[in-house]
Amino acid sequence: MNSESNRSSAYRLDDRIALVTGAAQGLGLGIARELARQGALVLMADLQQEKIEQAADELSRENLNVSPVHLDITDSRWVNRVFADVVEKHGRLDVSVHNAGVGQRISPISELEDDEWNRVISVTLTGTFTCCRAAAQIMERQESGSIINVASVNGQNPAALAAAYNVAKAGVISLSKTLSLELAAYGVRVNTVSPGPVYTEFNRSVMAQRCGSLGISEDEMIERVRKAIPLGRWGEAQDIAQAVAFLASPAAGWMTGELIRVSGGLEGVSAAPPRRPR
């Protein structure tokens, strides 16, 4: 095999068993597609049962090796059962990508309600923890594997009016680093991808709220964000998916505890909102 073939194969995921949470749409769907394109069997997990079955069918029609899994990451027993089923059916788990999360309804901290705080933390942070724990137990025993958590630039540079989401994503970053240290002796790698603005269904709902708080149109908001990105464009799901696939591959075999920001150069949105009428 020549050196070019060696380089190509280092990025392949042939015969790997991969699980991706939040895979019914947006970033998760893009990640599942890319891992499958690189040769992995991808178990696409999501709470939205009908939607995940439709998404898996879509990828299957592209001749990709995928399978839908119904999963609520806020239910630890459900998570443990799904991860155990993966090992029972496939013998191992090579790649576990924890992408599932929820956005926050825009609110200043002084008006942020308990239920909203708890909802965001429960799914975005605790749900990621639950999946990390289940994957870690498997990969520690098999002494191999790659865990990739999806955070956000908000976890590094908080945006106003999204405290619960900021804190949840910052927690995901810290969780990843901690787990990378605990699993290093077993040859298991744990890394984080921190996406910038990608115009998914997830981002559209948050964007609409921000437009209302600033009194501008959606088109104006889209353009404002675009101009703030040094590379001059919004991200695509594929941009994030390729970074995840790299971290999952042998090409990243000496990387653990790393945080890769994929944001077109944008470090975060830290603008202070205007005074509110009282």
Known catalytic residues are 165
**Residue in the structure block whose two tokens are 């115009």:** 199
User: Which residues partner with 45 through β-bridges?
Assistant: 21, 69
Phi-psi region of 161 (alpha: psi -120 to 50; beta: other; left: phi over 0): left
How many other C-beta atoms lie within 10 A of the C-beta of residue 145? 25
For residue 126, the 8-state DSSP code is: I
* Assigned token pair, 201: 């269904």
d(CA 171, CA 160): 17
CA-closest candidate to residue 180, choices 251, 275, 124, 257: 257
d(CA 42, CA 178): 26
